Structure 1
Amino acid sequence: MPRRRRGYPVAVLVGLDKGEAHLWDVYSESVKPAQTLASSGSEYSLSEAVVDQLRPRVKEGVKTVVVASEDRARYQSLLSHVERHHGWLIRGRGTNTVTFTYLKGRATSAGEVRALAASEGFRSILRDASEGGLDAVMGALEKRLGTSEGIDSLMMSLEEVEARVYGEEPPEFILMTEGFTRRHRSRAQRLTQVAHNRAVKAVTVPEGSRHASRLEQLGGIVGLAKTQPP
């Protein structure tokens, strides 16, 4: 049988139940189970465990967290914890903002997740949340394009991005359109893997995104160098 394509990462799905959190990695063409976390007796410890699992995914460029539960209060408890103790997740500067959104339903088993992922509500929330996350990155990109110093901090070709990712000063962020990854499949796959290994955020922008045409105007790929703190 042909191997099913995983696709590129687009979100993390967190299924909250009483005393448990079930994490799933959401890709463009599949959803894969990740971790199941159990509370050690408090909501605080469970929320901390969830954030610990989100950290590496955010570093790799995932900017959308969908929280599923039949009880909205569980989502609100997690969000309040993030706001109080990990504000960097939702109030990041420029490219570092993560979007949390709530979806009513269960996501504690493979069957429940399949049903949830097939629903229009899930797809709609994922599209909206993903676009919201991209807004911040595209805003930072357009701001840099407006100044000579900003332009100097951008990589505008596959060769430039590869040189930085494989070199001594990797960029902070890479944006590629879905069409670009198809046109340069093997190089784009290797670039994404090395970028993730070096803690570079790499995001594939789907063709349906309102930002895709703008990125195609720029060649389909853009790298953003790390900015120096003011």
Structure 2
Amino acid sequence: MGKKKKSHRQKRGYPIGLIIGFESMQINIWKVFSERVLIFKVRKLGRKFENAQKSHLYHFFEDIINDLRPIMKEGIKSILLVCPLKKDYASLFLNHIKSHHKWLILEKNINSASFQILHGSVRDLEEVSSFIQTDQYLEAIGSVTEKETNRIIETLEKRLNDLENGLVLYTLKEIEEIVYSGGKRKKKFKPLSLIPEHILFTNSFIDENPQKNRIHRLIQIAKNRQIISKIIDSETPAGIRINQLGGIVCFLLVKSDYEKKIGQKIIDR
């Protein structure tokens, strides 16, 4: 009896951003990872953009926003809108956001996203794989991710400078203490006393760490608790700053004396 062949699943790497491809009658939402691209959603308009009534477009764009909400909660907020040349589909969607969801594009809001419109076509895996090799994509994704990470770093710096209410942790052990304090199994989770705003890693910290499985377990359990973990390219300004702090950092705002005591206990151990 022959040996079973081992399945070789292609690594997807860490999340970078989203590509929303607009075509005449549908949109394709792609999740972009450091190692590959995966389709997330295909949403059909049911008619051509040019023939759609304003009310139909309104509901279509609202459906797209609802598609984006769970992804943004995971911390993916760099979004490229790709549209055929001489078509205004992506502009219509961005105008809808400006009119009905302004919070999504506020510069200083850590919960907002960064958008940019590009011209091209990403109808299938072959097209999107080719598209992400282009100079216009590489320049645009660098720009939107920098805006996104800069907002996070601004909040981190505020916590670092807030000696009274800011709490910043720099070790895997300290962060695990907070995240695991209410249990590790999703079905048996208890409320956390301290809830991190973000857990940040650089890709070089993870790549060079002999305890990768431990890190990925922390990221998964944090995700189950809806805590945002983000892996940032070490060569970006945000990545350089995080590496200055050791390559891993977790920050939060403590709101009571009780929370401050818990935070101080973790630091003192």
Deviation at 1:157, TM superposition (A): 1.6
> C-alpha distance in 2, partners of 1:180/1:61?
19
Structure number with bigger Rg? 2
In the alignment, what sits opposite 1:88? 103
Is residue 179 of structure 1 aligned with residue 204 of structure 2? yes
131, 135, 140: which is aligned to 1:125?
140
> Mind listing any 5+ residue stretches in structure 1 that lack a counterpart?
none
TM-score when scaled to structure 1? 0.91
% same residue: 29
In the alignment, what sits opposite 2:3? none
Contact 1:39 1:45 (8 Å CA) reproduced: no
Contact 1:97 1:136 (8 Å CA) reproduced: no
Letter in 2 for 1:38: K
RMSD across aligned positions (CA):
1.9
> Mind listing any 5+ residue stretches in structure 2 that lack a counterpart?
1-6, 47-51, 182-191, 256-269
The CA deviation string for residues 126-166 of structure 1, in whole angstroms up to 9 with x for no partner, is 11110111111111111221120244x22222112222222
Relative contact order higher in (CA < 8 Å, ≥ 6 apart)? 1
In the alignment, what sits opposite 2:174? 160
In the alignment, what sits opposite 2:19? 13
The CA deviation string for residues 38-78 of structure 1, in whole angstroms up to 9 with x for no partner, is 12662112211111111111111112011101145211111
Contact 1:21 1:46 (8 Å CA) reproduced: no
Contact 1:64 1:98 (8 Å CA) reproduced: yes
Instruction: Give the 3-state SS of the residue equivalent to 1:149 in structure 2.
Output: coil
> C-alpha distance in 2, partners of 1:94/1:83?
14
> C-alpha distance in 2, partners of 1:92/1:172?
18
In the alignment, what sits opposite 2:265? none
Matches for 1:31-70 after TM superposition, within 5 Å: 31-39=37-45, 42-70=56-84
TM-score when scaled to structure 2? 0.79
**Number of aligned residue pairs:** 227
In the alignment, what sits opposite 1:29? 35
> C-alpha distance in 2, partners of 1:190/1:207?
21
The CA deviation string for residues 161-194 of structure 1, in whole angstroms up to 9 with x for no partner, is 2222223133121111111222141122111111
In the alignment, what sits opposite 1:142? 157
Letter in 1 for 2:149: L
In the alignment, what sits opposite 1:114? 129
> C-alpha distance in 1, partners of 2:160/2:141?
28
